[in-house]
Amino acid sequence: MDTYNNIIFRTLAGNLETTDEEFDQIYPEELRALSALHWTPVHIAKLAAEFLAPNANCKVLDIGSGVGKFCFVGAAVTKGSFHGVEQRSSFVTVCNALAAQYEIPNVSFKNENITNIAFDAFDAFYFFNPFYENVEQTLIIDDTVQRKEGLFLAYSDYVYQQLDQSKIGTRLVTYHSIWDDVPNGFQLEYRSLNGDLSFWTKTEGQ
Ligand SMILES: C[S@@+](CC[C@H](N)C(=O)[O-])C[C@H]1O[C@@H](n2cnc3c(N)ncnc32)[C@H](O)[C@@H]1O
């Protein structure tokens, strides 16, 4: 299968430049239109994935995986495995179809709410501001899910509790997140993009 889109994955895997415009061709037009605001840019996904999956045994969870852009890029540029949890079923259908179409073995996607996922099955986590549409009108994706301020707090609290219980060595990348609430045991390794992209490792705790 030597389609244009297939070449995009091979280009990424070969560590060559791929623009967002090129990568987003894998998606239907209506999902491409959401990319600039809601999906991780390719160069950010590469940086984050390389930190989160330094070897083949690393299992990375994308908390609110959208249409899978972070997971697909991560799977192409590292040897780790990338797992998405996403509350919108139509996005997960798209992700599973693309994973099958492009025969990408190291990704999986689940249509679930994050509150039904136990974090102890994973080594690392990616967090791109997933709950903010509950409190910020300009970030609403569509009307297929319930939104309210209480959910922002409940989901954030669940993630905090799960990270707090995670093992030493757990890695975390936060992107565009107001994230004063990373549990104490996580050490900030470095920050870039004026603090919009932060890399953490758990060094204390259980
Ligand atoms: C900003 S998008 C990020 C998508 C993806 N991580 C990326 O970087 O390309 C956040 C996604 O989180 C999903 N989401 C929000 N709250 C969720 C929850 N409680 N459980 C699962 N998914 C959720 C939204 O539906 C949306 O698709």
The protein residue with its alpha carbon nearest to ligand 1, atom 27, reads 66
Which tokens sit at 34? Answer: 């959401």
Q: Dihedral (C-alpha) 49, 125, 190, 132: value to the nearest 10 degrees?
A: 110
Q: For residue 153, give every residue at least 6 positions away whose Cβ sits within 8 Å of its Cβ, in sequence order, or none.
A: none
CA 151 to ligand 1: nearest atom: 19
pLDDT in the model for residue 78: 94
Condensed to tens digits (0 to 9), the pLDDT of residues 26-38 reads: 999 999 999 999 9
The pLDDT assigned to 157 comes to: 95
Q: What is the pTM assigned to this prediction?
A: 0.95
The DSSP element (H or E) to which 62 belongs, if any, is strand 59-63
- The encoded tokens of residue 191 equal 């920050």
Backbone angles phi, psi at 10, to 5 degrees: -65, -40
Tell whether ligand 1 has an atom less than 6 A from the beta carbon of residue 88. Answer: yes
- Which pLDDT value is given to residue 180? 66
- State residue 179's pLDDT score: 65
* Nearest-CA residue for atom 23 of ligand 1: 64
Residue 3 confidence (pLDDT) above 80: no
Please check the confidence at residue 74 and state whether its pLDDT lies above 80: yes
Assigned token pair, 71: 């997971």
Ligand 1 geometric centre to CA of 44 (Å):
16
Nearest-CA residue for ligand 1 atom 4 is 66
Q: What is the model's pLDDT at position 11?
A: 81
Domain span at residue 145 reads: 4-202
Q: How far apart are the CA of 191 and the centre of ligand 1, in A? A: 22
Residue 100 sits in a domain of what CATH number?
Answer: 3.40.50.150
Taking only the tens place, the pLDDT of each residue in 81-113 is 999 999 999 999 999 999 999 889 999 999 999
Please write the tens of the pLDDT for every residue from 117-153.
999 999 999 999 999 999 988 889 999 999 999 999 9
Confidence of residue 4 (pLDDT cuts 50, 70, 90): low
Q: How many angstroms separate the CA atoms of 89 and 49, rounded?
A: 24
Number of other residues whose CB lies within 10 A of the CB of residue 68: 27
Where does 66-196 show beta strands of DSSP type E? 81-86, 107-111, 124-127, 171-175, 186-192
- The strand pair at 59-63 and 197-202 is best described as unpaired
Residue with the larger pLDDT of the pair 110 and 8: 110
With a 6 Å cutoff on the Cβ, whether 83 touches ligand 1 is no
Ligand 1 centroid – CA 101 distance (Å): 23
Total number of domains in the chain: 1
| CA separation for the pair 160, 180 (Å, rounded) | 11
